[in-house]
């Protein structure tokens, strides 16, 4: 088996990317689906911003360096263009800034405005909590009988009734790693006059996303998981080109203005998705994300997906004997089309198992009530990492037994 894993690693077209990340010695880090590892180029970039752009140039950095692509004012647009390639969008359909939750509020409000005679936001009953909270809060704010309707994911298509304005879904379930068929769900929604809002928190950077190909209306996502932008990295928002002239901005801040420094007294939105940016660009965190995204520049996204599936297949295969000995139940689909880039198992004592794994340097994640979650990042994981992780799981389970 070890020879087979070594062969897989030797043939890996992304193997050289591992050297571009800072990874702790002696640790197998399988929690990049919560916080990605730090690209090695980020500290130098931040040092330049701190000492040169901020420390020396000061306010001039907002516009100085435009000829070199270094001005702060255009930084969000440069980052948006890099994100667009990874999610199957055009650069003018993507804006970067604020948080995922704030961006979700904006696009949900826009979707409800575009479907004014409907009052329901339809969502997966087990969607990520912040998505549910934002949708619930928006409905209460609007009043007028708006409702957040939660149903099991498998029932979404059957629940696309004439009162549904928008369907809010996370492409990859944060607990189980199950991936929804974005194109099929979007087509079913559109057939009933329903707009789609997709959360790409566990998709962008893990495998190719094709928003335009799927016909998606809106999407949001974060910059700190598979995009490796650092804790609290700015989020992104996608608005399909066809909606840009009509989708209102519920939060109309000055950075979304067509010409912010004109200082007009009336709001005139930018023509592209930048209209959905509210506040001043977070220059330090945007600079970190900008540099982190450079890691993807020479990456074939097809290779990214192939390696993700190879890593997760290998993990599932090596874990199978442990499932026969211990109370482990695979929660992630075996079908490639229905799998993201993580593998999850149910265990009755999952919290304690994960705590012991972390103590051994196998860092995964626990999700209530009984989920052991392991995220695989194709850019910096090897198949030997997978084997080390499985040996760690085996040791912990044997100790507990």
Q: What is the pLDDT of residues 245-272, one digit of tens each?
A: 999 999 998 889 999 888 899 999 999 9
Q: Is 98 annotated as a binding residue?
A: no
Residue 239: the pLDDT is 98
- Under a CB-based contact definition with an 8 Å cutoff, are residues 376 and 401 in contact? no
224 in a labelled binding site: yes
What pLDDT, on the 0 to 100 scale, is given for residue 261?
84
Per-chain mean pLDDT for the chain: 96
Instruction: Give residue-wise pLDDT tens across range 130-170.
Output: 999 999 999 999 887 899 999 999 999 999 999 999 999 99
Residue 16: exposed, middle, or buried by beta-carbon count in 10 A (0-12, 13-18, 19+)? Answer: exposed
For residue range 190-245, what is the model confidence (pLDDT) as tens digits?
999 999 999 999 999 999 999 999 999 999 999 999 999 999 999 999 999 999 99
The class that CATH gives domain 49-296 is alpha beta
Residues annotated catalytic, as ranges: 128, 199, 224-225, 373
Angle at 167 between CA 165 and CA 171, to 5 degrees: 160
Contact status, residue 166 vs residue 115, Cβ threshold 8 Å? yes
Please state the domain extents for the chain: 2-30+300-400, 49-296
198 belongs to an annotated ligand binding site = no
pLDDT, mean of residues 48-77: 89
Assess whether pLDDT exceeds 90 at residue 279. Answer: no
Cα–Cα distance for residue pair 186/30, rounded to 1 Å = 31
Reported in sequence order, the residue ranges of 174-295 that DSSP labels E, i.e. its strands, are 195-199, 218-221, 236-239
pLDDT at 66 over 80: no
Query: In percent, how much of the chain has pLDDT > 90?
Result: 92
Bridge partners for 370 per DSSP: none
Q: What percent of the chain is modeled with pLDDT above 70?
A: 100
Q: Is 345 annotated for ligand binding? A: no
Q: Is the pLDDT of residue 180 over 80?
A: yes
pLDDT at residue 97 in the model? 95
Quote the pTM value.
0.96
Segment 16-40 shows an average pLDDT of: 97
The answer on whether 199 is annotated among ligand-binding residues is yes
Dist CA 316 CA 28 (whole Å): 16
Domain 49-296 in the same topology as domain 2-30+300-400: no
Please indicate if the annotation marks 254 as binding a ligand: yes
pLDDT tens digits for 292-319? 999 999 999 999 999 999 999 999 999 9
Q: Are 114 and 195 in contact (CB under 8 A)?
A: yes
Q: Please indicate if the annotation marks 44 as binding a ligand.
A: no
Residue 40 pLDDT exceeds 80: yes
For residue 2, what pLDDT is reported? Answer: 82
pLDDT at 175: 97
Under a CB-based contact definition with an 8 Å cutoff, are residues 343 and 31 in contact?
no
Q: What is the second-level CATH architecture of the domain 2-30+300-400?
A: Alpha-Beta Complex (3.90)
Say what the pLDDT of residue 401 is.
84
Which residue(s) pair with 120 in the sheet?
Answer: 147, 164
């Amino acid at each position: 088996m070890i020879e087979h894993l070594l062969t897989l690693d030797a043939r890996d077209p992304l193997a050289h990317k591992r050297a571009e990340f800072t990874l702790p010695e002696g640790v197998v880090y399988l929690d990049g689906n919560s916080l990605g590892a730090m690209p090695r180029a980020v500290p130098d970039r931040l040092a330049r911003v701190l000492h040169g752009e901020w420390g020396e140039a000061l306010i001039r950095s907002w516009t100085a360096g435009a000829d070199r692509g270094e001005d702060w004012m255009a930084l969000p647009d440069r980052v948006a263009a890099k994100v667009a390639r990874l999610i199957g969008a055009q650069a003018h359909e993507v804006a970067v800034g604020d948080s995922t939750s704030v961006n979700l509020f904006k696009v949900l409000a826009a979707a409800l405005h575009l479907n004014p005679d409907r009052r329901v936001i339809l969502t997966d009953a087990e969607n990520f909590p912040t998505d549910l909270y934002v949708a619930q809060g928006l409905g209460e704010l609007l009043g007028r009988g708006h409702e957040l309707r939660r149903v099991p994911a498998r029932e979404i298509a059957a629940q696309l009734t004439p009162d549904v304005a928008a369907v809010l879904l996370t492409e990859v379930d944060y607990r189980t790693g199950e991936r929804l068929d974005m194109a099929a769900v979007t087509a079913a929604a559109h057939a009933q006059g329903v707009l789609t809002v997709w959360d790409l928190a566990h998709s962008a950077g893990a495998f190719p996303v094709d928003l335009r190909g799927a016909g998606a209306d809106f999407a949001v996502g974060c910059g700190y998981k598979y995009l490796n932008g650092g804790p609290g990295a700015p989020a992104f928002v996608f608005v399909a080109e066809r909606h840009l002239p009509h989708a209102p901005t519920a939060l109309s801040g000055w950075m979304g203005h067509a010409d912010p420094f004109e200082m007009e007294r009336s709001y005139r939105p930018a023509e592209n998705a930048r209209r959905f940016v509210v506040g001043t660009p977070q220059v330090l965190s945007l600079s970190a994300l900008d540099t982190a995204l450079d890691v993807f520049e020479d990456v074939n996204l097809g290779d990214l997906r192939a390696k993700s599936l190879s890593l997760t297949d290998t993990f599932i295969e090596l874990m199978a004997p442990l499932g026969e000995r211990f109370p482990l139940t695979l929660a992630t689909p075996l079908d490639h089309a229905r799998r993201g880039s993580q593998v999850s198992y149910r265990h009755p004592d999952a919290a304690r198992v994960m705590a012991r794994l972390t103590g051994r340097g196998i860092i995964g994640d626990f999700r209530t009530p009984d989920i052991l979650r392991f995220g695989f990042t194709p850019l910096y994981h090897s198949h030997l990492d997978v084997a080390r992780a499985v040996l760690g799981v085996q040791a912990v389970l044997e100790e507990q037994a």
